[in-house]
Chain A
Amino acid sequence: MTAHGADATATAPEDRFRALFARHYPAVYRYVGRRLGSDDASDAAAETFAVAWRRIGRVPPEPDTLLWLYGVARRVVANAQRGRRRRDRLTQRAAGHAAPAGQDGDPAAALAALAALNPGDREVLRLAAWEGLGPGELGAVLGCSPNAAAIRLHRARRRLLAALDDTGDQP
């Protein structure tokens, strides 16, 4: 049944899973690690692949596999952050946006500016800057057209610049 109507390169789902795990685990781990920190990265990566195994029949073939995994990982990260949000409302609020100020071009300043953006902007910027995705790939992960992804990225970069000015102005 596994290959009825599927592509001609059908292999046992277990083998396919092992192969995609071996190939994409590092990228997925880095993706979740960048967003959740290394403490939770292993769990989130494992959860992402657990989802992939449950839906192994729906995982697109290469070269789209990793983008699909990013899409799943994005939801896993969002869930993890939702859980954290409830717990951390107090501490987050207390910490506010007391981001370290720095000079233009300073990574810390850029990170602080990133933190000041809304999550949608943050994610599109991170995907472009850290995962190095192009518009078509961004669209695949975010579930929108390449055009829309390009526009979102453009707007997000503008807002990042604006946020940098804001945070950078702090003494």
Chain B
Amino acid sequence: MSRDPFESLRGSNPLPEDHPVHPPMAIAERILGGAPRRAWPAWALATGLAAAVLVGGGAWLLWIHGGPGEVVATSAATPTTGGAVTAAASTTTSAPILTGDAVVYFFISEEGSPSGPGPYLIPVAQSFSVLSHPVSDPVAETLSFLLAGPWPGVDREGPALSSYLPLGTRLLAITVADGIATVDLSSELEAAQGLAGRGALAQIVFTLTRFDAIEAVRVLIDGVPVTAALVAAPQEVADTAPLTRADFADELPAIMLESPAYWASSGDNPLVVTGTADVFEATVSLELLGQDGAVLWQGTTQASCGTGCRGDFSAEIPYEVAEGQFGTLVAWEASMEDGSRLYQRQHLVWLNASGDSGPPTAAEQLRQAIAEQMALRYDLDKALDSYLAELAAVDAQLVGLPLDQGTELRTRAAELDRQVAETRDGLSRVFDQLRALGVDFEIPCSGAAASPDLPDEPGLPAPVASLRRSIFEAARACDWQTLRGVMVESTFSYSFGESGDPVGFWQREEFLHYQPMLYIAGMLARPYGTVPGDVVTIFAWPSAQAYASWADVPQPEREALRPLYGDGDFASFAEFGGYLGYRVGFSWDGTRAVWIYAITGD
């Protein structure tokens, strides 16, 4: 056998490469149930479920769904339909908030026509509220709501809505001329083939033709007109002919409620109902139910055509409710045999109480959401402070305590650890949400607590000394702009597994009371070490990191780490074998000093 233990180490792999492991895809789906932190942060507010979605052009779309109404905020674009958009002054942000309903088309699976249970195309109101941004193009913005898909969580309140538009499909361009919209979408759309492709086109055509100025739609993929392959019935749709609603009549339920849309929040009274239907003798039965199921109105209306042809219908439904609520508009065909309900359709719609000016607007909810986050932050801040203080006290008592003593203290420390971690998780979510809402909020500056003294280090080359001073001052002032200016972001390292935005990372860390600026300023004021290299020398603060092992760090240099680190930390460094704390390093090639890292842990 080899004398080299490394070779026998190879042979003693606890889980060799051929150890069979099968990826549990159910776990993947459960992880996907959560949302990517930056691109799609999940909201969990006390009032209900909320989620954020990215829309075209890098805009944020934030949506809160809970109780009576929904809220959507976008960071950079204002989706709006031709419908009403109202502006309201915000009390918590400098920008006014715009609210409205964007109506897009999704598929719903329920009994809806003689040919089966669907899925059928229906209009869905994506209510939104935005911190005001320039309204660019209502058509494009509505399309971005369509591409974003049904809001996560909406299924909890009703039947599942689905979209055939592949996630990730982007709007590249849209023009409208002579009643024809030409919409260019990214190649992700090609993933929708056959019936799915046809469904996707139907969604686009219905969504766009809801605008008065648009009667037909040409769809391009990366500039190329969609081929017949994308539609199930090529003989019916010529390759480049603009598509109209008529091309997709078979995607509709027997009774199509066009207005109010599913989840409509306008709260009109009387409720103006319009739609199309292909029902026996053109008779459409309608009913409006309150939240408790009480019948508020019942009647029938005649479509312009029936028994084998699709006709338009409309009705005005007056109602009275004591308080605002989501009611249900129901439409059906009464069976000629027994009067039973056929092809029933139901839309949840907001009903205003008499005398109400409107539903609790999305804007109001947005303001509430911001206020809630601010209040939550206050509470979590307080809690975190007290946990951290107690943990420090407990840790101090544990230092030097024989291991067979202090069981209660150790238990308490573990409990506090957990509470600190949970509180930080909560704060981290608040941080994400405030960021996503575009709210200007205060970020604490731990650097202000650092001593203003920066001892001279005569041994440092002048550029290194000057860089040290700039970073020290910027850290004390939490001067993010200067910090950004003195680093090369692409090569700067600040925490493994992260990349790209050290300042954003530190702001979050400040928000979570990790006090990165205090530590950076504090480290720079302590003795430095050097790590010589072939090309560059690393100047490293504090000096402790320049030693191969904690045991090698001279006592005075250990003492210099106080009070940022104490006996408890020293014990953990000793256990680990090396300095584990914050560190800052510059590279020096004889002419230029470059700030290359500021790292916690590891």
Contacts and interface: CB of A to CB of B under 8 A. Distances in A.
A12 interface: yes
A17 B403 CA distance: 45
B168 A10 contact: yes
B157 interface: no
A143 B12 contact: no
A101 interface: no
B460 interface: no
A6 B413 CA distance: 45
B8 A21 contact: no
A22 interface: yes
A21 B23 contact: yes
Contacts of B1: 104-106
Given A25-B23, A30-B17, A110 B414 contact: no
Contacts of A80: none
Given A51-B497, A110-B12, A160-B6, A2 B170 contact: yes
Contacts of A30: 15, 17, 19, 21
B234 interface: no
A14 interface: yes
Interface string A41-68: 0100010011101111110000000001
A64 to B, nearest CB: 12
A107 interface: yes
A78 B580 CA distance: 12
Contact of A118 (B10, B404, B578): B578
Contact of B36 (A23, A25, A57): A57
A13 interface: yes
A125 interface: yes
A33 B54 contact: no
B12 A72 contact: no
B3 interface: yes
A74 B2 CA distance: 29
A4 B31 contact: no
Contact of B403 (A72, A74, A90, A130): A90
B578 A12 contact: no
B167 interface: yes
Interface in A115-171: 118-120, 125-126, 128-130, 132, 143, 157, 160-161, 164
Contact of A120 (B5, B497, B577): B577
B58 A53 contact: no
B5 A164 contact: yes
B25 A58 contact: no
A72 B58 contact: no
Contact of B9 (A12, A13, A38, A160): A160
Contacts of A125: 6, 9
Question: Per DSSP, are chain A's interface residues mostly helix, strand or loop, or mixed?
Answer: helix
Contacts of B575: 85
B299 interface: no
Contact of B5 (A57, A109, A118): A109
Given A21-B28, A46-B27, A86-B410, A34 B5 contact: no
Interface in B16-69: 17, 19-25, 27-28, 31-32, 34, 36-39, 54-59
Contacts of A86: 410, 413-414, 417
A111 B168 contact: no
Contacts, number: 184
B186 interface: yes
B54 A25 contact: no
B168 A2 contact: yes
Given A1-B54, A21-B28, A26 B36 contact: no
Chain A interface size, as a band, is: 35 or more
Contact of B38 (A57, A68, A78): A57
Nearest to B12: A107
Nearest to A72: B497
B490 interface: no
Instruction: Sort chain B's interface into a size bin.
Output: 35 or more
A165 B233 CA distance: 78
A50 B6 CA distance: 33
Given A10-B188, A71-B497, A118-B577, A106 B8 contact: yes
A87 B1 CA distance: 39
A77 interface: no
Contacts of A161: 4-6
Contacts of B15: 29-30, 33-34, 38, 130
B452 interface: no
A35 B497 CA distance: 19
Nearest to B59: A1
Contacts of A109: 5, 8
B297 interface: no
Interface in B474-519: 493, 496-500
B399 to A, nearest CB: 12
A89 B572 CA distance: 10
A26 B22 contact: yes
Minimum-distance CB pairs A-B, first 3: A118-B577, A105-B1, A107-B12
8 contacts: A4-B57, A25-B28, A26-B20, A54-B37, A86-B410, A106-B8, A114-B5, A118-B549
Given A38-B15, A57-B39, 15 more contacts: A1-B56, A11-B168, A18-B32, A21-B27, A23-B23, A26-B23, A33-B15, A53-B31, A53-B32, A75-B497, A89-B410, A109-B5, A110-B5, A118-B577, A129-B10
Interface of A: 1-4, 10-15, 17-18, 21-23, 25-26, 29-30, 33-34, 38, 42, 46, 49-51, 53-58, 68, 71-72, 74-75, 78, 83, 85-87, 89-90, 93-94, 104-111, 113-114, 118-120, 125-126, 128-130, 132, 143, 157, 160-161, 164
